[in-house]
Amino acid sequence: MKLNAVMAGLVVACAHSVAVAADSPAISVILDGYYQDGARALGAREDGFGLGETELALSGAIDDQFYGKATVVLATEGSDTEVELEEAFIQTLALPAGLSMRAGRFTADLGYLNNQHLHTDSFVERPAVYRAFLGGHYFDDGLRLNWVAPTDVYWTLGLEGFSGDNLQAEGLEDPKSVGVYHLYSKFGGDWGTDHSWQLGLSWLRNENGQGHLEEHEEEEHEEEADDEHGHSHSASLTGRDLYVVDAVYKWAPNGNYKNNFLTLSGEYLYMDKPFEQAGGEENIPGNYDGWYLSAVYQFSPKWSAGLRYGEVSAAMAHEEELDGQHHLHFEDGKVKETEAMVAWHHSHFSTVRFQYTHQSDDLYESADDHILTLQFVMALGAHGAHQF
């Protein structure tokens, strides 16, 4: 939808919340069920019938100065159910000069998808690079300072600090209490009445993202893949510096998104990963990277279709013995995903989606090549405006 319209919608939503009594918060429930034939590398959905994340949210104005929201997620794995507090934050409403602050637990405003709730996605799961680098979507305890510039072109600049628990490297000793710092900026605007765009840049510094490189790390990659088939939001691949570039373009005739529209989006993520060997040896330079491109077209008020392709690649350490000594060498592993979906939307509150995924995986070697998924996502109660 048009960027200016989205900003106006969010302002209206906050103003409406202010008008609601403090003892009457908005309540919503998101239901996510599916049947899936196969499983993805680092995916949260298993083979067979299952439930995705059931989301329970309370939100509303605390007074004319503050807004609050709490979101509890119930996720199932087999017969086990995990309960997790995904959001619990307060947001300022009336700071001067375009400033705002958010404190508590919330999703990082990183890239294009991360700040959006999973149930708003156009595909069954986040791209492979998100699952590997961010555990699907990165939320944490922290503080955000954001500034919106008084310019004709939408421009925002923000700084976030988090504990960094979900991005912490395995085996890290003495982690820092503030482990993640994130600096980001977004630009956007409209071309006439039919076109809108947004560009984002992010730099995330992870002070706790570098562990020690041990022997047999290729076996650890496979074990991590098995562990991450559950609903943990911890990242599988960690590093010191993460750089993200994201872009989105939206088209709708006369700016009317009710009947048909097109959304093109993509992100590139690059992670600097110096491999620190045990025993105090010097760091070995390395990196991970990944990207995706997505196209979603709503060709009628109730039907949409989409295509997405993405990759994530990483250097895997292998041990070999030469002249009686052990040496480490690195080989690139890669996950490639091609996805096609068609979805029926009876209303803004209900979606039934069918998706086919073809996956090539020589990084974790734990997933199926062909995956079919039938998913329903239903929203009960108050449902806030979606992000751009």
C-alpha pair distances (Å), 26 with each of 42, 327, 380? 34, 59, 11
Rounded Cα–Cα distance for residues 74 and 139 (Å): 15
- The b-or-e profile of 71-99 (16+ CB within 10 A means b, else e) is bebebbeeeeeeeeebbbbbbebeeeeee
With contact defined as beta carbons under 8 Å apart, do 144 and 109 qualify? yes
Tokens describing residue 50: 């299952």
Percent of the chain residues topping a pLDDT of 90: 62
Q: How far is it, in rounded angstroms, from Cα 125 to Cα 119? A: 9
pLDDT > 70: what percent of the chain?
80
Q: What is the pLDDT of residues 123-180, one digit of tens each?
A: 999 999 999 999 999 999 999 999 999 999 999 999 999 999 889 888 777 888 899 9
Per the CB < 8 A criterion, the answer to whether 274 and 303 are in contact is: no
Instruction: Give 284's DSSP letter.
Output: B
What pLDDT digit, counting tens, does each position of 203-230 carry?
999 998 876 554 444 444 545 444 444 4
Evaluate whether 329 touches 2 at the Cβ level (below 8 Å).
no
Looking up tokens 């979507």, which residue turns up? 137
User: What residue has token string 């947001």?
Assistant: 91
pLDDT higher than 70, residue 260: yes
**The pLDDT of residue 225:** 47
Radius of gyration of the chain (CA): 21
**pLDDT on residue 318:** 58
The first and second tokens of residue 34, run together, are 């599916």
Give dist(CA 42, CA 228) in Å, integer. 5
Task: Give residue for tokens 């699952």.
Answer: 131
Q: Are 161 and 177 in contact (CB under 8 A)?
A: no
Count of C-beta atoms within a 10 Å radius of residue 120: 14
Domains of the chain (ranges; CATH) run: 3-381 (2.40.160.10)
- 282-323 pLDDT, tens digit per residue, is 556 678 999 999 999 999 999 999 999 999 998 766 556 566
What does the pLDDT look like over 44-91, one tens digit per residue? Answer: 898 999 999 999 999 999 999 999 999 999 988 777 888 999 999 999
**Averaged pLDDT, 21-28:** 75
What count of residues does the chain have? 388
Give CA–CA dist 200/182, Å, rounded.
Answer: 13
Q: Letter for the amino acid at 112? A: Y
Highest mean pLDDT among 35-44, 197-206, 251-260, 358-367: 197-206
Which three-class secondary structure state does DSSP give residue 220?
A: helix
- Lowest mean pLDDT of 30-39, 258-267, 310-319, 329-338, name the range: 310-319
What's the mean per-residue pLDDT of the chain?
85
